[in-house]
Amino acid sequence: MYEHRGQPPIPFRVFLRRLARHGGIAAALLAASLLIGMIGYHLLEKLPWIDAFLNSTMLLGGMGPVDPPKTFSGKLFAGSYALYAGLIFIVAASLLGAPVFHRILHRFHWEEEERKRRGAKTDQGKAARRTTKSE
């Protein structure tokens, strides 16, 4: 999926496509998680769809529920969904950050490798000139 350390960094347009692809995956994951939360709150807590949406988005955003659960099954669902939402928040942030961090690190390593290669070629050229002069 990502280029190897020895390969040059990808062009900026390709990087933007990669970032958009990761963003699409994160958005799909968040949309599916939102749907799961809305269905759970609607069925188990008998919340209207708009309130189920509000509770689910607040948990996915890391803020906490608006309506405290009242039923036993609703409390179990809310607790489980809160843990799940916290993990999804971390996964979505990682999906968006991974291409950016990879590009930064890859450019740093690529420039370092290029300097080493240029230095090795210069050293080889100097050695060849020395050999020619001594003969």
**Structural domains for the chain:** 12-134 (1.10.287)
For the chain, percent of residues with pLDDT exceeding 70? 87
SS3 of residue 113 by DSSP = helix
Residue 6: predicted pLDDT: 75
**Residue 79, token pair as written in the block:** 């607790």
What integer is the mean pLDDT of 29-44? 97
Q: Are 19 and 100 in contact (CB under 8 A)?
A: yes
Confidence tier at 42 by pLDDT (50, 70, 90): very high
Confidence tier at 5 by pLDDT (50, 70, 90): confident
Residue 112: predicted pLDDT: 73
Give tens-digit pLDDT for 56-102: 999 998 888 899 999 999 999 999 999 999 999 999 999 999 999 99
Confidence tier at 106 by pLDDT (50, 70, 90): confident
Q: Are 41 and 26 in contact (CB under 8 A)?
A: no
